[in-house]
Chain A
Amino acid sequence: MSARTVATRAANWFTPAIAFARIAWLRTVLYLFVIVDMHAFVRDTRLKGEHPGLYQPLLLARMFDLPKPTVFNTTALYVVLIAACLVGASNYFPRIAGWIVAPAFTWWVLIGMSDGKVDHDHLALVIALWVLPTVKAGRRGRASYNDQARSESAGWVIRCVQICVIATYFLSAIAKLRSAGWALTWPGSAVLTWAIVRRPHPVGEWLLHHPWMLHVMQWVGITAEFLSPVILWLKGRWQLFGALFFLGFHAANTAILLIHFLPTVVCWLAFAPMERIVPWFQRRRASDSDAGEAEDQAEHGREAKEQAGA
């Protein structure tokens, strides 16, 4: 294989052809999720506008010389974000709305995390918001959810989100090596005991009496994190198993550490062939009506199925 072929294959890996419908679903889910996030997770941004006492701007905020949070600018940010998210989620004018949401939400999170504590669950979501508006919409509004036309620009967006989801796990494993001076001491350490002592709750306190279980969890966790990039190359059912494993991993983390990582979890949808939702639904409905119509719908379904695994 020549070097040129390798380069072409690598470039093609970043830009698979994927149906516009998946982008449409992702837009709706993520823009609505941003609204949830603003109220449930990064929810103290407006409060920081009222009490900027502990404000300590992060690198990006300093680079762009972003103003200190005030009641006025955080309230304006809130209103603009809600409006732009609702428009973007409708898939009408999704690119204009998207180009507003991306910088506005980045700023929102920058303020929310400018108090000495940074969370690591927002990478995939923030990057998703920045790449989504790069796709020129095919069909608009309701029709977009069944737009089976495939595009490489859509595929690039999906790939970027997938990479960021996986990077969240893989890079956590790297951080665990780095913090030990590039040594593998984390899985045998008392880190989960430490975490539970600081955030006590019934499940955790029971586990404190069985440190070996915590060590098993640490080994399983770091091994999975190291192997996570494999998921990018898995197909179909195997990829689904990989995704379900990590969703289970988050369920366990939520039970033991009270850490949910929902902003990353929601981005796993980039792996899901959501372009099949409407054909599936139509097929189900068609099976209730006459046979000729059903055949017609089944044809649509096959078309969508061919795109699975991208």
Chain B
Amino acid sequence: MTVVTDGQERAGDVRLGRVGRGVRVAVALVGIGLLINGSVRASDDAWPFGPMSQYAMSVPDDASITYTRISAQTDAGTTVDVPLNIEGAGVARAEIEARTGEIVKDPSLLQQVADGWAKKHPDKPKYVKLELIRDTTQLVKGRVVGPPTPAVLATWEVRR
């Protein structure tokens, strides 16, 4: 039987040689293999061949949903939530959440947050004390009941 290819072949087409086609097909297959391996057994560490695990977890109907934030006392005497993004204190909330354990063990890591804020907003009140806070929202039968409960995980007196 005749080989049918995608679309019609035309005289002007630039064809690949045996080696060129073989190498390309092999590279594509290895790539697909790496992707499958990543999804089945690897972690985010294997980027870009890691699993596509964003929002992939099954959250039970009675889950406690935690949300980590940093609260700051300023030298103007106010208490504010630190804006956890690049423009705010130069560090993203996801980074703080991913490193919570380390920050609890070594609260001095929070110094970077105060430095980032002071550098980006030299005209705004400085942070004098930072608190890493975890808010917990309780689900009952898949619905949110009541406001979140805060818990302080780490405290850091900012160095000048």
Instruction: Please report A residues at the B interface, Cβ cutoff 8 Å.
Output: 1, 5, 8-17, 43-44, 47, 51, 53-54, 58-60, 106, 109-110, 113, 115-120, 122-123, 126-127, 134, 138, 149-153, 156, 159-160, 163, 167-168, 171-172, 174-176, 178-180, 185-186, 189-191, 193-195, 197-198, 208, 211, 257, 259, 306-307, 309-310
CB <8 Å contact, B112 and A53: yes
Whether B14 is near chain A, meaning CB under 8 Å from some CB there, is yes
A-B contact pairs, 9 of them (CB 8 A): A14-B28, A118-B44, A149-B13, A149-B14, A156-B28, A167-B35, A171-B52, A176-B56, A178-B51
CB <8 Å contact, B65 and A194: yes
CB <8 Å contact, B61 and A190: yes
CB <8 Å contact, B54 and A172: yes
From A106, A160, A175, A189, contact of B60 by CB (8 A): A189
Given contacts A1-B1, A16-B7, contact A126 B48 (CB under 8 A): yes
CB <8 Å contact, A117 and B95: yes
From A109, A115, A119, A190, contact of B139 by CB (8 A): A190
Cα(A176)–Cα(B55), bound, Å: 8
- A129, chain B: closest CB distance, angstroms: 11
CB <8 Å contact, A168 and B52: yes
Whether B78 is near chain A, meaning CB under 8 Å from some CB there, is no
- B47, chain A: closest CB distance, angstroms: 5
CB <8 Å contact, B67 and A197: yes
- A303, chain B: closest CB distance, angstroms: 9
- Find the residue from A134, A179, A193 having the highest chain B CB count within 10 A: A193
CB <8 Å contact, B28 and A163: yes
CB <8 Å contact, A191 and B59: yes
List the B side residues contacting A51 at CB < 8 Å.
90-91, 112, 115-116
Whether B6 is near chain A, meaning CB under 8 Å from some CB there, is yes
CB <8 Å contact, B24 and A153: yes
CB <8 Å contact, B14 and A153: yes
CB <8 Å contact, A174 and B92: no
List the A side residues contacting B55 at CB < 8 Å.
191, 195, 257, 259
Q: How many residues of B contact A (CB 8 A)?
A: 64
Q: How many A-B residue pairs have CB under 8 A?
A: 202
Whether B71 is near chain A, meaning CB under 8 Å from some CB there, is no
- B114, chain A: closest CB distance, angstroms: 12
Question: Closest B-chain residue to A113, C-beta based?
Answer: B47
- B144, chain A: closest CB distance, angstroms: 6
Cα(A306)–Cα(B11), bound, Å: 14
Cα(A299)–Cα(B54), bound, Å: 48
| CB neighbors of A among B60-114 (8 A) | 60-61, 63, 65, 67, 86, 90-92, 94-95, 97-99, 109, 112
Cα(A134)–Cα(B23), bound, Å: 12
Cα(A172)–Cα(B35), bound, Å: 11
CB <8 Å contact, B92 and A117: yes
- B39, chain A: closest CB distance, angstroms: 5
- B34, chain A: closest CB distance, angstroms: 11
Whether B4 is near chain A, meaning CB under 8 Å from some CB there, is yes
| CB neighbors of A among B10-38 (8 A) | 10, 12-16, 20-22, 24-25, 28, 31-32, 35, 38
Given contacts A190-B142, A193-B144, 4 further A-B contacts (CB under 8 A): A5-B3, A11-B21, A115-B92, A149-B14
- Find the residue from A14, A122, A306 having the highest chain B CB count within 10 A: A14
Question: Closest A-chain residue to B51, C-beta based?
Answer: A175
Given contacts A153-B16, A153-B24, contact A58 B47 (CB under 8 A): yes
Cα(A306)–Cα(B9), bound, Å: 10
Cα(A11)–Cα(B90), bound, Å: 48
Cα(A59)–Cα(B47), bound, Å: 7
From B59, B95, B144, contact of A54 by CB (8 A): B95
Whether B151 is near chain A, meaning CB under 8 Å from some CB there, is no
CB <8 Å contact, A190 and B60: yes
- A224, chain B: closest CB distance, angstroms: 14
Cα(A229)–Cα(B40), bound, Å: 18
CB <8 Å contact, A17 and B10: yes
